[in-house]
A = this chain, B = another copy of it.
Amino acid sequence: MLNRVRSAVAHLVSSGGAPSPRPKSPDLPNSPSSTSAPPAVAPEAPKSPSARPGNWSGAPAKTSEARARFSRPTFLQLSPGGLRRADDHAGRAVQSPPDTGRRLPWSTGYAEVINAGKSRHNEDQACCEVVYVEGRRNVTGASREPSSSQGLCFYYWGLFDGHAGGGAAEMASRLLHRHIREQLKDLVEILQDPLPPPLCLPSTQGTPSFSDSSHLVGPQSCWSPQKEVTHESLVVGAIENAFQFMDEQMAQERRGHQVEGGCCALVVVYLLGKMYVANAGDSRAIIVRNGEIIPMSREFTPETERQRLQLLGFLKPELLGSEFTHLEFPRRVQPKELGQKMLYRDQNMTGWAYKKIELEDLRFPLVCGEGKKARVMATIGVTRGLGDHNLKVCSSTLPIKPFLSCFPEVRVYDLTQYEHCPDDVLVLGTDGLWDVTNDCEVAATVDRVLSAYEPNDPSRYTALAQALVLGARGIPRDRGWRLPNNKLGSGDDISVFVIPLGGPGSYS
């Protein structure tokens, strides 16, 4: 994540007429060095291997010193020499799983490249797993056939874009799918039962209290209105809560300074015929289907979440200290403008209006800047993600975390509603990709690359991921990485998954 965390210049906060926020090393003073030691395994982290059928373990390798300092996804199967090449800012070699090794589930394509020097290591991380969920026994208390208590499998892809250090991204890549598995354990029976989910579960597991779920709602059901809850919304709720537990685990581990920084998280769960795309941050997922683009996420930034942030600052002014105002102004207010009228927006407005400038308006705005330069508290450019528990406003004790949300937006795509062809894909990319390309250009690349390969060639999706990464990185020319149109390519870490929706993968 390039330039997504900025420090505030201290006197900016307390005075007008000072220079605008400047880029600073992404390593914040409150965070440990970005050289990441492997995080300790959390006490509550499941200890048994999570990946059963596919055996794509996301656990960080601990066999060499190089890996201890800098880890890449194990599915890349990098040798120590390969790891050094992946860590080389000058060459920026594109990395993909080897053709000769085991393929990723669903013949998923993957490619990544390190940044051009903005941080020491690649702060993106990725995970691709097949996860088996063993149900807790007899959760609903109903007496069922033994066959219905079989476990469930879900397919899982995750992209994690770290900032201010790589620790949070690495930890999330190792553990988030385990938290999802944990949340799904109670649902194994329920999701495989065609009946609507029971609204209430008995307290004593294993002691059948009612013979079927329709009775579980109790006698109140005959007169009290009750909401119908779908299986789908239970999976959404499980993913949402898994993000929260992941974030809480990071909060606990930060005390030992095991987890530095924070990360955006974009994950996909395939379960029982549906794709659940959960996004917290500024990565992006799109489906390209028969040339049509279907957005599967939206970005969460100080601009897109301005009103949520301002409302929080308005309702909890103590979170702003005496340094910030929840109002937005189109530029910094100067002391000599006191009494004049300036344009502003508050938490209720999408438009602008003039207000008379008062003393409080000279404070630094909670939200300022535009596009990639937009910032919360002059510091961070994304508003959702995991970690960042130690993040503070520079030269201040004000924590920024209360304004950040760890909750993803989850969009659901039903794979059974459409007959997909091998060229239909779900593309996931960190902002390194999307900063220099757009949905239409990606769709054009999808068409161009896939049509050059046989439909049943499983390497076509990795070739596509590589083409997307290369197209965003560019080539070194004129003292920079440049695209064919001579514009600057992305100097950020770039990571891309290409998931075929109708390809040769097994969807069972």
- Chain A interface (Cβ < 8 Å from any Cβ of B): 17, 19-20, 183, 186, 197, 199-203, 217-218, 220-221, 223-229, 232-241, 244, 311-312, 315-316, 329-332, 334, 337, 339-343, 345, 348-354, 356-357, 369-370, 373, 405, 407, 409-410
Contact = CB atoms under 8 A, between A and B. Distances in A.
Nearest to A373: B225
A312 B348 CA distance: 14
Task: Output the residue of A236, A350, A373 with the most chain B CB within 10 A.
Answer: A350
B330 A227 contact: yes
A351 B19 contact: no
Contacts of A183: 353
Contacts of A342: 199-201
Given A220-B334, A331-B226, A353 B238 contact: yes
A349 B407 CA distance: 8
B334 A218 contact: yes
Contacts of A225: 20, 331, 369-370, 373
Contacts of A237: 345, 349-353
Contacts of A312: 315
Contacts of A410: 350-351
A209 to B, nearest CB: 9
B373 A203 contact: no
A465 to B, nearest CB: 30
Nearest to A236: B351
A405 B307 CA distance: 14
Contacts of A332: 220, 224
Nearest to A303: B227
Given A200-B340, A226-B331, A240-B348, 9 more contacts: A20-B225, A183-B353, A186-B354, A199-B342, A217-B331, A220-B332, A233-B351, A236-B352, A237-B353
